[in-house]
Homo-oligomer: A and B are copies of this chain.
Amino acid sequence: MARPKTYLDLLKAVDSFPYIDIARTPNDDHEESSYYQLLLPSDPRPHGYMLPSVVKKIPWTSDFEVSHDCPRTVQVLDKSHGRDTAAACNQAFASVIARAIESGAFATLGRPFREDYKILGAKYPSVQLLRAAAPLFGVCCRGAHMTAYVRTDEGMKIWVPRRSAHLFTYPRMLDTTVAGGVRAEESPFECIVHESDEEASLPTDFVRKHARACSATTYVEQRNSGFGGEFGLMVPVCLYLYDIELPFDIVPTPRDDEVEEFYLWDVDRVKKALANEEFKTNCAAVMIDFFIRHGIITDENESDYLEIISRLHRALPVPTSPTAT
């Protein structure tokens, strides 16, 4: 049997991109540093970093200017003629992504995500692109995760779903009680509200009233073959975290086909499942953050306490607000 994983092992598997300063070392000896900066119009801040092999294969349109000089850049051009820059960017992304899908050159684009993701921190509100394409452009992918728990006489218990066997990624692995990608047009909270209904049949009014925002975890992935996409993509990720305490008579129940079953587990059972790598990798990070916030993992019982905490909140290499530098 494999050695049980430590919490830090689990986080390193999620926050897997090397700790290099990708923004400041654009062309030194690191292989990773040859990523291209994705630039939006009139904004010098890179909103993503793209693999050279990806830049080479994308069937670029005239909406983009690719420069192979140092620093290497992919510039979205402003074809709005002074009207709606965001709409022009969105049209540019939509066209080039349609061509890339047609080309059949990208496994990543085969993923069944039809909604758009917002480009976080863009100066123009609602610059967005197809969710499945976000990792190719190296822009931040946003999710919302809510952990539901129950206080019992035997201590805290946590609602843990098992993913359906037919899912494209991580079939039959354990997940966060409720989780989903944050669509361009919604807030993280609204995402949790509708996913609570769709995935777990939780009453909407109850969720609106009792779901509590309690932080976010941020990390940077280096995508490997497990995602069924291109190898080596740099993907900044932000997961907005929510907790909800459920009474005994509100029981999560699968509604859509993403969840096979919900378990109500005590903390020790959840710890065991983490150590055995039964959780989807980023859901392990969410559970570890929950354990930190609820005093289950402490400095007294975990020698990696501080490293765990800083890895759960990595400074992302892309701006996270319109005014961030």
- Which A residues are within 8 Å of any B CB, using their own CB? 19, 21, 120, 187-189, 212-216, 218, 238, 240, 292-295, 298-300, 303-307, 309-316, 320-324
Q: Which residues of B contact A240 (CB under 8 A)?
A: 299
Indicate if the CB atoms of A321 and B294 lie closer than 8 Å. no
Q: Which B residue sits closest to A315, measured CB to CB?
A: B310
Indicate if the CB atoms of B299 and A216 lie closer than 8 Å. yes
Q: Which B residue sits closest to A19, measured CB to CB?
A: B315
List the 7 closest A-B pairs by CB distance, nearest first.
A313-B313, A306-B320, A212-B295, A213-B295, A213-B298, A310-B315, A303-B321
A176 to B238, CA, bound (A): 29
Quickly give the copy total for this chain: 2
Indicate if the CB atoms of A216 and B316 lie closer than 8 Å. no
Indicate if the CB atoms of A316 and B324 lie closer than 8 Å. no
Shortest distance from the beta carbon of A245 to any chain B beta carbon, whole Å: 13
Q: Which residues of B contact A305 (CB under 8 A)?
A: 216, 320-321
* Selected contact of A299 from candidates B21, B187, B306, B323, CB within 8 Å: B187
Q: Which residues of B contact A307 (CB under 8 A)?
A: 320-321, 324
Q: Which residues of B contact A311 (CB under 8 A)?
A: 315
* Selected contact of A294 from candidates B212, B238, B300, B306, CB within 8 Å: B212
A304 to B240, CA, bound (A): 14
Q: Which residues of B contact A120 (CB under 8 A)?
A: 306
Q: List 16 A-B contacts (CB under 8 A).
A: A120-B306, A188-B300, A189-B299, A189-B300, A212-B295, A213-B292, A213-B298, A218-B310, A305-B320, A306-B316, A306-B321, A307-B320, A310-B313, A310-B314, A312-B313, A313-B313
